[in-house]
Amino acid sequence: MHLEETVARRRRGARLEAELLEAAWAELIERGYAGFTLEAVARRAGTSTPVLYRRWANKQLLVEAALLHATSARPVETPDTGTLRGDLLASMRAANEARIDLLAAMTATLGAYFDEARTSPAQLRRQVLAGGPSAADVIFQRAIDRGEVDAEGLTPRIRALAFDLFRHEALTTLRPLSDEVIEEILDDIVLPLVRKA
């Protein structure tokens, strides 16, 4: 029996899976999708490739699982500050702090993944964040319930606009947004449009 297999036998269940996914995420960030291999992930995790293949049939599935794990390890609570502007501002600041590296990774390292999987960043994002309403939906529903905005005219695109602009800025700069940029997105673009709607 190989040493790696002995170590893998001692780690089981959720603990083992979390360590495998953390190793996969580290490999992805370091080498990009093109240089990502299950063998390298196994070495980093101190296990063997059969341990990985029992859970994920190929590197595409392992990358998707690692991205989901990395996202769930950086939860962003939907704030309730009592105002639409306050909620949007707090939510964008929290995402800026907790998840900016995920956005950068999706841009900088996953180009080959999108080609191979025949998918897009938007589809991958929907897949990773599936299940439940978005932060924007929750925030706008609270604003509607408070009577702060009128539901009529609030199209799905208008509701998503603040976060779409946030993602665009993060993806094009590969850096966290400054408070000034976040406030500009809200005060100069999103909130005037919402009030008009």
Residue 132: pLDDT band by 50, 70, 90 thresholds?
Answer: low
Residues 191 and 135 in one domain: yes
Q: Which two tokens stand for residue 153?
A: 């005219």
CATH number at residue 62: 1.10.357.10
Q: Which of 180, 194, 184, 112 is nearest to 150 (CA)?
A: 194
Residues 111 and 44 in one domain: no
Q: How far apart are CA 92 and CA 169, in angstroms?
A: 12
Q: How far apart are CA 186 and CA 157, in angstroms?
A: 15
Q: Provide the domain limits for residue 183.
A: 77-196
Residues 24 and 96 in one domain: no
Are the C-beta atoms of 71 and 98 separated by less than 8 Å?
no
Residues 51 and 100 in one domain: no
Residues 53 and 88 in one domain: no
Q: Which of 138, 149, 146 is nearest to 82 (CA)?
A: 146
Mean pLDDT estimate for the chain: 88
Please check the confidence at residue 7 and state whether its pLDDT lies above 50: no
Q: How far apart are CA 14 and CA 93, in angstroms?
A: 31
Residues 137 and 155 in one domain: yes
Which of residues 110 and 33 earns the better pLDDT score?
33
CATH number at residue 128: 1.10.357
Least confident of 121-130, 154-163, 180-189: 121-130
Residues 6+ apart with CB under 8 A from 92: 162, 163, 166, 177, 182, 185, 186
Mean pLDDT on 171-188:
93
CA 88 to chain CA mean position, Å: 17
* Predicted pLDDT of residue 1: 44
* Predicted pLDDT of residue 24: 96
- The per-residue pLDDT for range 9-30, each reduced to its tens digit, is 466 788 999 999 999 999 998 8
Other beta carbons less than 10 A from residue 124's beta carbon: 19
- The per-residue pLDDT for range 166-177, each reduced to its tens digit, is 989 988 888 899
Please check the confidence at residue 6 and state whether its pLDDT lies above 70: no
Are the C-beta atoms of 128 and 99 separated by less than 8 Å?
no
Q: Please state the domain count of the chain.
A: 2
- The per-residue pLDDT for range 39-86, each reduced to its tens digit, is 999 999 999 999 999 999 999 999 999 988 988 888 788 999 999 999
* Residue 130 dihedral angles phi and psi, to the nearest 5°: -60, 145
Residues 184 and 95 in one domain: yes
Residues 48 and 93 in one domain: no
